[in-house]
Structure 1
Amino acid sequence: MCQSFRSVRFRPPNIPCFCLVALVAVVAANAAASEPAPARSLIWADEFSQPDGSLPDPEKWTFDLGGGGWGNNELQTYTGRTNNCRIEGGHLVIEARKETFTGRDGKTRDYTSARIKTEDKCSWIYGRIEARLQVPRGAGIWPAFWMLGAEIDTAGWPACGEIDIMEYIGREPGKVFGTVHGPGYSGGGGISRSYAFPEGVAVADDFHVFAVEWQTNQIQWFVDGKPYFTVTPASLPPGKKWVFDRPHFLLLNLAVGGNWPGPPNAETVFPQRFRVDYVRVYR
């Protein structure tokens, strides 16, 4: 069930009339320089505050299970075990492990990990969607925080739409990527931009806040509060359809290998852990 949260707002103090003239003058002088951001209400969140060793809240998340490459030639089998996904120290930990594991399809693979989603629990259209994350490090590692159109079962991919809020590949340790995929602009043709951290700073060194602000006919990406990419219908290839006018659900996963990141190498240390401090949705 989607849980709504009420925003907390403060009442302004009573101000004597003689102060109002000065106040209006100050506000007028500064209005052009700084317009306040519109107030937002928190409508859904997971702070991952359950006891250590718990699975993520089943009222909010469900697991994708299995292998088969997920359309990207990935190497892992996704499981629903606490070995691969659990609460630990107030964080969600998605852990990729190098281990022989036979999945539901009867095939044995060399890696396990986890992928969770809010499909059939909650989906949203428009608002600010953000998470505070710490990515792992190592070649062949591919964590993501993203959204898929809730119509995926009927419309299929990419017609349902996909919004990649944050993707990271281990062989590019100083960058993250934001992308949209839709009909006629998917896969390697998705509309994408990277955000480069300062020289010498690895994304995996610390937690960072990754967000999109999604409005009618516009999606804007942020890293630690800094906007770096905006997509509108005008950004699409000529004649292609804007499909970001319908609800999408959230996903978090940690893939191993795949067409884009390539395979792990001898220097990739397992287990790899993708840590999530919180996920929040505002409107």
Structure 2
Amino acid sequence: MSADDDQDDIDASKAPLMDHLVELRRRLLWSLLAVGAAFILCFAFAKQIYNLLLWPYRWAAGVNTPIEMIYTAPQEFFFTEMKLALFGAVFIAFPVIASQLYMFVAPGLYKNERRAFLPFLAATPVLFLLGAALVYFLAMPLAMTFFLSMQQSGEDGVKIALTAKVSEYLSLIMTLILAFGVCFQLPVVLTLLARAGIITADWLRKYRRHAIMVMVVIAAVLTPPDPISQLALWIPTILLYELSILAVSMAEKKRDQAKEADEDDKSDE
């Protein structure tokens, strides 16, 4: 496919501003409908979803240990369920939202750019799920084990026991899932920046120490103030940074090979 053919594809897809706005409204409408349908479904099963999110707490406290949680305002648990339903709705509807976004921007991309963009579109939810799984099976149980270890069983006549609020527990696990899910997008973001020519693998290697310090700060801000959960975010993020360097290096090699092939074609002509 020549550059002229690609330019013809883009020229053929050009439309007046009003047509673009109508198309944007249509894509937003489909995304909102997907979120709304998923919200209704998640709200119908909000209690079951919340109980599922309590399993990291159970693993920390002991599977057979009864868990008692409270809410201190009449409407608190209702709004907690709504927040949970919205969180689950966006999570479930993400493939629809991403596909609508892609269909909106795809007409303005070259064909080779569309082919290059699709793998990143597919990798985004997979990496987010990996981050969420790390929270569910590792970071959250470790964090709850740390918090539960602070309880006192009648020492010096003082008994201190954790009775968590439903809203605060949900906020904690949602914050961790979002933090890990966003941090796990690092390879996608850096590889896209490399494809755009903004960064290089050598640049990432040069500023590796600076990146590590930034990761330490991010882990300290986004996670609870215990070293276990902070390390649970910091270590995978460093590994993802190293994976990003490898991905950027591969992207640079492909770009150089494509340039050499174009130069060979021009020389043959």
Give the number of the structure with larger relative contact order, counting CA–CA contacts within 8 Å between residues 6 or more apart. 1
Structure 1 or 2: more helix by fraction: 2
Q: TM-score, normalised by structure 2?
A: 0.25
Q: TM-score, normalised by structure 1?
A: 0.24
